[in-house]
Chains A and B, each alone.
Chain A
Amino acid sequence: VKKALLFVGAAEPAVRAELLEGAQRLYGRSRYETYSVVSDAGPEAVAGIVQTLDDLHREIGFDAVLFRGSRLAGMLAPRLAARLEACLVTEVVDVRRHSGHVALVRRVGGGQLLVRIASRADRPLILAIRPGAFPRRSTRREAKHTTLIPPSLVDAGTVVLVGRRPKDSPGDIRDAEILISGGGGALGSFAELEKLALVMGGRVAASRRAVDLGVAARAIQVGQSGRTVSPRLYLALGIDGAGQHIEGLRNIESIISVNTNRHAPICSISDIVVEGDASEFIERLCRRITQGTTAAPEPH
């Protein structure tokens, strides 16, 4: 029986479901059981968490440890792999199995690599799964055993959390992971764009049209005569997406466009097209996000 350990933050049922799906893809028809470790600690607790996982591994002997990609997972998974002399693959987007051997597909920059795990390895496998790569299905069984990491265990003393505060400056739009970008169709909504950016933890950007009309600063302009950006999410509101604008978009993971014209050029490269008005979209999405995950959607 294969044993898979899932590392989950507290109050993250969605993450648990994704990791369960990952374990299912790894072991498919073979028999396996899952264990989970739940911790709410941050990067200050890395040493303690790795020690806990190491102790558990000594006791149970895992075949795989699964993380969901995040900054903390990015610090934990490589460390644990070094500690356990395990095969490490991060940014995993797919699992393929050929005659009993597991091969993993991982993302790199804008492309993908197929990574084979050395077959001589009787070593455990440590995976960091790219968020959203394994859409969760409802039929997965729950983890067999759950271990909670108590706060007392995670105080290593070498890394101390001093404080948390709003950023001094918003920084360059090229460094942002989420860009909320406004164009000619959102000229009256720039104050609201800031509101959505705040709710989503992103930055406001703009098209040349908005900059030329004096609605936005030149420093946040995306496109051929502005910045080239590579955020994880580009939310384009009221932007038609002329060639000069698209030129400034590189290796973007997801694009959502909001436009009254569903045939605007940017729509053809979007994952989701929302047909409608930018400011109404912002208001509704802000409300939906602040509502949280458990609340029922508003009635029609």
Chain B
Amino acid sequence: LTVKKGWPDTYVEVVALGPLGASPVLQDLLRLGADNATLLSDDAFAGSDSLVRSRILAAYLRGVPFDCILAGSQTADGAASEVPPQLAEVLGLPQMSDVAHIDAASLAEGCPLVDVDDGRLQTTYQIRLPAVLSLKHHHDEVLPHLSLRDSRADVGDRLQVVDINQLGLAADDVGARGSLTQVVEVLDAPVRREPLVVRCDAEGIEQVHVFLQSRGLI
């Protein structure tokens, strides 16, 4: 939307895969300035693993023109971030994860400079479009406020729902049946063990160091 502000001929489409209950979110994004929204929704999609979800998205995206696909880095539940790289692979595009910032001017020119968080450092990459960029969530970046009047605007004509037939997919290729992996059980979070108590001496510090290393924290 920032690019669109500076380059008004930019076209922004919001694409989501999910149940019809996701429409209010898409409607609000239309009210905030997106040009069009598409919800890929079908009962047959339920239970799809990340590769199947990527294929469903790709089936739609192959039919529409785009320069850049912006994705998130984490879903609210799984936080696995598997879909953006898989979508990029299915579409044959480059992809970058954990993007903290996109330089709007270079994006408008077709070769965006993106910053990726690397702990205390920031790494800048230049990526040739078309590409998939997965943005990292930042708490200090929030969408503009939607006024009460705007929140009532009718945007229904700019929201389309696309089902499995329109995408030309077969029911056997999607959902749980089309997926190679399946969640079979939800387990309780592991019980926290008694803490290890050490002293602040060479041996204690060594144990802390080993712990930090084993968890990939240093």
Contact = CB atoms under 8 A, between A and B. Distances in A.
Contacts of A188: none
Contact of A78 (B50, B123, B137, B201): B50
Contacts of A114: 183-187
A111 B198 contact: no
B213 A171 contact: no
Contact of B187 (A44, A111, A164, A285): A111
A247 interface: no
Nearest to B116: A43
Contact of A254 (B77, B190, B215): B215
Contact of B215 (A115, A233, A285): A233
Nearest to A178: B217
B196 A115 contact: no
B51 to A, nearest CB: 6
B170 interface: no
Given A114-B184, A167-B120, A158 B125 contact: no
SS class of chain B's interface: helix, strand, loop or mixed?
Answer: mixed
Contacts of B201: 300
A60 interface: no
Given A114-B183, A288-B205, A79 B88 contact: yes
Interface in A207-250: 232-233
A46 B208 CA distance: 34
Contact of A172 (B90, B138, B204): B138
Interface in A244-300: 253-254, 256-258, 262, 267-277, 280-281, 284-285, 288-289, 293, 297-300
A141 interface: no
Given A83-B89, A89-B181, A253-B215, A298 B200 contact: no
A172 B140 contact: yes
SS class of chain A's interface: helix, strand, loop or mixed?
Answer: mixed
Interface size class on chain A is 35 or more
A108 B79 contact: yes
Interface in B15-62: 49-51, 54
A86 interface: yes
Nearest to B84: A78
Nearest to A201: B119
A56 interface: no
Contacts of B90: 82
Interface string A1-28: 0000000000000100000000000000
A82 B204 contact: no
A198 interface: yes
A183 interface: no
Interface of B: 49-51, 54, 77-86, 88-90, 94-98, 113, 116-128, 131, 136-140, 179-190, 192-193, 195-209, 211-218
26 contacts: A75-B96, A78-B83, A81-B51, A81-B86, A103-B184, A112-B189, A112-B190, A117-B180, A118-B180, A160-B125, A162-B113, A162-B125, A163-B123, A164-B118, A164-B121, A232-B217, A254-B211, A254-B217, A257-B195, A272-B197, A272-B207, A275-B197, A275-B200, A288-B205, A293-B213, A297-B206
Interface of A: 14, 42-44, 46-47, 50, 68-71, 74-79, 81-83, 85-91, 103, 105-106, 108-118, 121, 123, 131-132, 135, 156-168, 171-172, 174-175, 177-178, 198, 200-202, 232-233, 253-254, 256-258, 262, 267-277, 280-281, 284-285, 288-289, 293, 297-300
Given A106-B80, A273-B195, 17 more contacts: A74-B81, A74-B85, A77-B85, A79-B86, A111-B188, A112-B187, A117-B181, A160-B125, A165-B121, A165-B122, A166-B120, A172-B138, A174-B139, A269-B192, A272-B211, A274-B199, A285-B208
